[in-house]
Amino acid sequence: MGKLAADTIEIRRALQLLYPPPPWRDFCVELRVPGTAKGTVAGYFTDPEKLAVWAARLSGGFNSHRGPVKVEAVYVSLNPLTPALLARAANRCAYFMKHTAQDADVLHRNWLGIDFDPVRPSGVSSTDGEHERALERARQAREWLRGLGWPEPILADSGNGAHLLFRVDLPNTQETTELVRRVVAAVAAFYGDNMVDVDLKVHNAARLWKLYGTLAAKGDDLPERPHRLARLLEIPTTLEVVPLEALQRVAAMVPATPRGPVEGSGARVDLDVGAWLEKHGLEIYSEKEWNGGRLWVLRRCPWNPEHTNLSSFVYQGPDGRVTAKCHHNSCRDKGWADLRDLLEPGWKEKEKAPEEPGLPWLPSPVSVPEGWDGGMVVVTTDWKAARRAYAEGKAVIVLHKDLSAPRGAGEVLRKADKVEVVAEGEEKRRLEWELFPVLAAKTAGEETGAVVEVDWQKQDGPADSSAVAGENGICPEAARARQIVKQLLDRHGIWVYRTGDAWAWANYEFLHSVPPPEAQALLEELGTLPPEVVASAAAMVPPGIGDTVETPRWTGEITGVKLPVQVAVRLPDNSLAYYDPHPYVLAPAGPGRWRARF
């Protein structure tokens, strides 16, 4: 079986670095390879040389009596385990292992690992660009932690992303697990995004870790997505233990709003926090969804501009409450009310009484009044408009500044009989554009009697290429789908694109009419192919507002909803329904059920 060789020298160097010098008498180390044709392959070692030999033998794949067995990755337990586990498979590996190391088997925590993984389709290796992006993000996080009093870590290449490994000296207790969980969550809040993910699951004591010197081999080994060896990159001359105080300092930085009644920090506000920050000139380093709320990390502290190590943030929780914080000692008493005092003097007097007496305050950005029977839901970005609607007994959804929806919006939309957009001018057009899939889904359900489910989820990632791969490469159906997609664009100006695992088409050349017969025939042929195959052949994302669309016969900028755009929605009876103007489609969600995905 052809494969890249493991680097046995690197494997031995990693074992010398991660564990005390041999002989290993008081602990053992688990070597594990999950998810193979031979089940979980695992063993327990007190002999580092035998562990290194087995790791090299398994790296990338191995031969069994039934043929070659692929191995995507080789892992070791990061922290030392009780030597009693040696009896499961002593200094050797076995197939189909039912029992593997658990958190209770860990004797002590010696390492705290942080894993930076580039966001990409599951089951594939990273591109060189994605790989380097994760490494750079790890370097940035290392610099940030250094500024917070942390010693130098090991910087390593996981094969697809990056690792930071810090020495710790902690007991294996529930308190330690919670501390480590919050530390990892804080790093993820400040340095994870939709490009690089910081794995939140690495906080447990029995955490497995990629063994350096072995092959990371997800998917096929392609030039653009190659398999790589995991490697140690930078090792400090002295590995110092992270002080407990430094761990606690970072753990305290996890963005959250206080529970219970609060004064100042944690106050509920009915305003667009993102717009407020922009209006008052605060420089945003990053903005992201976090724990059902919205997190803005500031590039510099508003109370002390010398604090430039991403120590300050503003966070609006899912209940609408807002907190602002800087983690430097000199700012520890500052909060959201102090930030508004600084940048918006007199705000308390303005907000002592609502402009319209009697208007209720909203429990959260997604609010359903008592007794709501699934009737009207109002979607808006205006908090006051939402309060008026709520007072009238309507459910309300207050969108974020970028028109993304808060947690719980999809559930309310599923129950609503009617959806009303409350906005004016350009913002109304933008909201209608974003909401069109929901409105089209409900219309299709009413017309066909189908049960329609609505997902409030943007589908802008690449499709899973495994859906179109045959034993010898691309399957014939996928090749035909690609050919049809190209013909539709080149000959007819029809743009085919994916929406999750389904597909849609948009026409930018004619309005309120069906396509020409040749184009209609091609679209109908696409409809006979599996949706995931068509999706894999289509464009990654549809054009949207502000995008420039170019077809062989037409070029223009999308500025609103009143454009020559048509959408084909394949209904449960396999017929096509045409909707105008938003290019999205219903995706099948089971017999007689359709899901609007966006």
Q: Are 484 and 503 in contact (CB under 8 A)?
A: no
**Shortest CA distance to 529 belongs to which of 593, 482, 584, 490?**
482
Residue 198 forms beta bridges with which residues? 116
Residue 463: per-residue pLDDT: 31
Query: What average pLDDT score do residues 61-69 get?
Result: 88
Query: What average pLDDT score do residues 327-344 get?
Result: 86
Task: Tell me if 360 is assigned to some domain.
Answer: no
Q: Which of 180-194, 438-452, 505-519, 581-595 has the highest mean pLDDT?
A: 180-194
Q: Are 340 and 372 in contact (CB under 8 A)?
A: no
Exposed (0-12), middle (13-18) or buried (19+): which is 328, by Cβ within 10 Å? middle
- The gap between the terminal CA atoms of the chain, to the nearest Å, is 43
Q: Do 199 and 319 reside in the same domain of the chain? A: no
Q: Do 167 and 283 reside in the same domain of the chain? A: no
Q: Do 223 and 88 reside in the same domain of the chain? A: yes
Query: What average pLDDT score do residues 237-255 get?
Result: 93
- CATH classification at residue 201: 3.90.920
Is 90 exceeded by the pLDDT of residue 561?
Answer: no
Give the least confident one: 295-299, 344-348, 500-504. 500-504
Residue 160: per-residue pLDDT: 96
How many CB atoms are closer than 10 A to CB 372?
Answer: 17
Task: Tell me if 526 is assigned to some domain.
Answer: yes
Q: Among the three residues 350, 374, 407, which one is the final residue of a domain in this structure? A: 350
Q: Do 521 and 577 reside in the same domain of the chain? A: yes
Q: Among the three residues 321, 350, 379, which one is the final residue of a domain in this structure? A: 350
Is 80 exceeded by the pLDDT of residue 368?
Answer: yes
Band (pLDDT 50/70/90 cuts) for residue 404 is confident
In our burial notation (b when 16+ CB lie closer than 10 A, e otherwise), range 208-225 reads bbbbbbbbbbbbebeeeb
Q: Which amino acid is at 452?
A: V
Q: Do 346 and 375 reside in the same domain of the chain? A: no
Q: What is the DSSP string of 303-336?
A: S-TT--SS-EEEEE-TTSBEEEEE-SGGGTT--H
Task: Tell me if 504 is assigned to some domain.
Answer: yes
Task: Tell me if 260 is assigned to some domain.
Answer: no
Q: Do 399 and 478 reside in the same domain of the chain? A: no
Beta strands at 376-380 and 418-422: parallel, antiparallel or unpaired = parallel
What value does the CA radius of gyration of the chain take, rounded to a whole number of Å?
28
Query: What average pLDDT score do residues 448-454 get?
Result: 51
- Spatial distance between the Cα atoms of 15 and 285, rounded to a whole number of angstroms: 38
Residue 422: per-residue pLDDT: 87
Exposed (0-12), middle (13-18) or buried (19+): which is 591, by Cβ within 10 Å? exposed
Query: What average pLDDT score do residues 27-31 get?
Result: 98
Q: Among the three residues 422, 439, 454, which one is the final residue of a domain in this structure? A: 422
Q: Do 19 and 85 reside in the same domain of the chain? A: yes
Q: Do 136 and 170 reside in the same domain of the chain? A: yes
Band (pLDDT 50/70/90 cuts) for residue 441 is low
Q: Do 344 and 371 reside in the same domain of the chain? A: no
Residue 514: per-residue pLDDT: 55
Expressed as residue numbers, the domain containing 297 is 273-350
Beta strands at 576-579 and 586-588: parallel, antiparallel or unpaired = unpaired
Q: Do 491 and 395 reside in the same domain of the chain? A: no
Q: Could you read off the pLDDT of 115-131 as tens digits, one per residue? A: 999 998 888 999 999 99
Task: Tell me if 444 is assigned to some domain.
Answer: no
Residue 183: per-residue pLDDT: 96
Is 80 exceeded by the pLDDT of residue 155?
Answer: yes
CA distances from 416 to 338, 378, 393, 409, 438 (A): 39, 10, 13, 11, 11
Task: Tell me if 196 is assigned to some domain.
Answer: yes
Task: Tell me if 482 is assigned to some domain.
Answer: yes
Number of domains in the chain: 4
Band (pLDDT 50/70/90 cuts) for residue 560 is very low
Residue 314: per-residue pLDDT: 92
Q: Could you read off the pLDDT of 274-295 as tens digits, one per residue? A: 888 988 889 888 888 888 788 9
Q: Which residues, other chains included, contact 70 with Cβ-Cβ below 8 Å and sequence gap of 6+?
A: 36, 37, 60, 61, 217
Residue 234: per-residue pLDDT: 97
Q: Could you read off the pLDDT of 371-384 as tens digits, one per residue? A: 888 888 898 888 88
Query: What average pLDDT score do residues 40-63 get?
Result: 96
Task: Tell me if 183 is assigned to some domain.
Answer: yes
Q: Do 178 and 40 reside in the same domain of the chain? A: yes
Q: Which residues, other chains included, contact 515 with Cβ-Cβ below 8 Å and sequence gap of 6+?
A: 492, 494, 507, 523
Q: Are 207 and 113 in contact (CB under 8 A)?
A: yes
Higher per-residue confidence, 380 vs 58 = 58
Is 90 exceeded by the pLDDT of residue 30?
Answer: yes
Q: Do 331 and 374 reside in the same domain of the chain? A: no
